[in-house]
Structure 1
Amino acid sequence: MTDLTGRIAVVTGAASGIGAAIATQLADAGASVALVARRQDRLDDLAGKLGPRTIGVSLDVTSQTSVDAGVRQIHERLGRPDLVVNAAGVMLAAPIEDGRLDDWTRMIDTNVTGVLRLVQAFTPDLISAAGDGRTADLVNISSIGAHVVFPGYAVYGATKAALTQLSTSLRADFAPYDVRVTNVEPGLTDTELATHLDSSGQDLIASMNEQIGPLAAEDIADVVTFAVSRRREVNLRQIIALPTRQA
């Protein structure tokens, strides 16, 4: 049931964390995978480990020029994708009273507009794949922060709430074409996101990890791989994955 042989996947945020874990599991299941992120050296290293059906494509989701160039490269080297996973994201502690407009903009550009750039780029491919009778999937990695309030993270939570709502609306738009949309909301997970925080933020995450026990990135990859490997008539539309002590 997890044989993805013949499928062509694009995974953003594939240089580390959840994105890298998802890309790895999709490749292990037989898919050809375009590893997408900004850090080419990390992408090349992971592609070398995963084999000839994977390629690393340096791409910045906040730049339309970069996205256009990356998409052309993916089409030329792998073909037209039938599976797109938006796992790129950034989490910054940016309290409203601090007025950190640059941080707010960075999160919006990456977590929301960046996703829209990839959706726009690959919508024709997904619709075409489904029209040919193949399985076609769009997977967005949101966050439990879309529902749960974390003081100091209002804008981050807002971007993830926007992504969850976007997934719901896109599902309605894509359903007539038989393209599935899955929104995944991880809880506390051991990734590089915490390294973007200041010392107090990192201390908070460390304390939560100690008290709750985080999920591994591979746990989220398991969820995604399971969802996209169901028969094409089944859409697992909304998945919340939490550590047991956070549930």
Structure 2
Amino acid sequence: MSNNETRTAVITGASSGIGEATARALAADGYRVALLARRVDRITALAEELGKGAIAIEADVTNRDSIVAAAGRVQEEMGGADVLINNAGVMLLGPFTAEQHDDYRHMIDVNLLGAITTTEVFLEQLKEDGGDIINISSVAGVRARAGNGVYAATKFGLNGWSESLRQELLPDVRVTVIEPGAVATELPNHITHAATRQGVVEAYRQVEVTPDDIAEVIAFALSRPRRLALHEILLRPAGQEL
């Protein structure tokens, strides 16, 4: 148990995977958690499981009005956000063709613009008492490969924006970027390109890194003294790339 009983963490994409695991980890550390996601049934069940100090808020990071409404609830019901974890993301891999254009735009809207919009909306709350922003990126943000070009572009963009934001917001807000390799989540199931999905789903069956592993790193990063210049944590298991 840490000494973070009064801190409130807002987690996007909290209905599954890294977001869900992080909610559990931070709740165990004494945080109040605001669970943001589109799948309200899942986050409602999670909030009930976590008990007092957790609330479920239906929100879509691609819809600014939705995020503004969520921020209003966090302010009213929890006194504002101390931590923002930009976790919502999609990984729609496949060859670069015109047929995939909807996937490209969706990834940009969620992975990059969604994080930017959510941060912009919550920023004043985070500045109030010295907050934290944690952006969930990927090893694809430093090394692209065939078939993940636009996904990688969103993560390269997230990394560049985060570094600029880190320099701009210190010392009021600490910005941390986490770049996992492949993590055993449901992300591959959302791939629309059939041949790519089959291969990635099969590869992910061999993945040993779990959402709980990443949640542990997030909790560790938040536990570090703010005087430390901890702005990036890399998780790149040998031989694993996104």
Structure 1 counterpart of 2:172, from 175, 178, 187 = 178
Structure 1 counterpart of 2:183, from 179, 186, 189 = 189
Shift in alpha-carbon separation, 1:18–1:97, aligned structure 2, 3 A: same
Report if the CA contact (8 A) 1:104-1:155 is conserved. yes
Structure 2 counterpart of 1:145, from 125, 140, 160 = 140
Higher deviation after alignment, 157-166 or 2-11: 2-11
Query: How far 1:75 sits from its partner (Å)?
Result: 1.2
Please name the residue that 1:133 is paired with: none
Could you tell me how far apart the structure 1 residues matched to 2:78 and 2:137 are? 27
Please name the residue that 1:60 is paired with: 60
Could you tell me how far apart the structure 2 residues matched to 1:148 and 1:194 are? 19
Please name the residue that 1:161 is paired with: 156
Report if the CA contact (8 A) 2:184-2:205 is conserved. no
Query: 1:175-203: per-residue Cα shift (whole Å, max 9, x none)?
Result: 1x431100000101011111111432232
Q: Give the number of aligned pairs.
A: 240
SS of the residue corresponding to residue 35 of structure 2 reads strand
Query: How far 1:69 sits from its partner (Å)?
Result: 1.2
Could you tell me how far apart the structure 2 residues matched to 1:202 and 1:101 are? 17
Could you tell me how far apart the structure 2 residues matched to 1:206 and 1:192 are? 9
Report if the CA contact (8 A) 1:90-1:111 is conserved. yes
Amino acid across the alignment from 1:154: G
Amino acid across the alignment from 2:203: M
Could you tell me how far apart the structure 2 residues matched to 1:113 and 1:37 are? 16
Could you tell me how far apart the structure 2 residues matched to 1:208 and 1:242 are? 16
Following superposition of structure 1 onto structure 2, how do residues 76-155 of structure 1 map, counting pairs within 5 Å?
Answer: 76-130=76-130, 136-155=131-150
RMSD: 1.7
Query: 1:36-83: per-residue Cα shift (whole Å, max 9, x none)?
Result: 000111011000111110000000000111111111111111111110
Could you tell me how far apart the structure 1 residues matched to 2:166 and 2:19 are? 22
Could you tell me how far apart the structure 2 residues matched to 1:51 and 1:42 are? 14
Segments of structure 1 that go 5 or more residues without pairing to the other structure are 131-135
Query: How far 1:245 sits from its partner (Å)?
Result: 4.4
Report if the CA contact (8 A) 2:94-2:196 is conserved. no
Could you tell me how far apart the structure 1 residues matched to 2:239 and 2:19 are? 24
Report if the CA contact (8 A) 2:189-2:201 is conserved. no
Please name the residue that 1:72 is paired with: 72
Please name the residue that 1:34 is paired with: 34
Higher deviation after alignment, 21-30 or 120-129: 120-129
SS of the residue corresponding to residue 177 of structure 2 reads strand
Could you tell me how far apart the structure 2 residues matched to 1:194 and 1:210 are? 10
Report if the CA contact (8 A) 1:86-1:141 is conserved. yes
Following superposition of structure 1 onto structure 2, how do residues 213-228 of structure 1 map, counting pairs within 5 Å?
Answer: 213-228=207-222
Query: How far 1:94 sits from its partner (Å)?
Result: 4.1
Amino acid across the alignment from 1:39: R
1:10 aligns with 2:10: yes
Shift in alpha-carbon separation, 1:90–1:209, aligned structure 2, 3 A: closer
Higher deviation after alignment, 63-72 or 10-19: 63-72
What stretches of structure 1 move > 6 A for 4+ residues in a row?
none
Higher deviation after alignment, 231-240 or 31-40: 231-240
Query: How far 1:8 sits from its partner (Å)?
Result: 0.7
TM-score w.r.t. the length of structure 2 is: 0.93
Could you tell me how far apart the structure 1 residues matched to 2:204 and 2:40 are? 30
Could you tell me how far apart the structure 2 residues matched to 1:95 and 1:201 are? 8
- Quote the sequence identity (%): 40
Amino acid across the alignment from 2:226: R
Report if the CA contact (8 A) 1:61-1:117 is conserved. yes
Report if the CA contact (8 A) 2:189-2:197 is conserved. yes
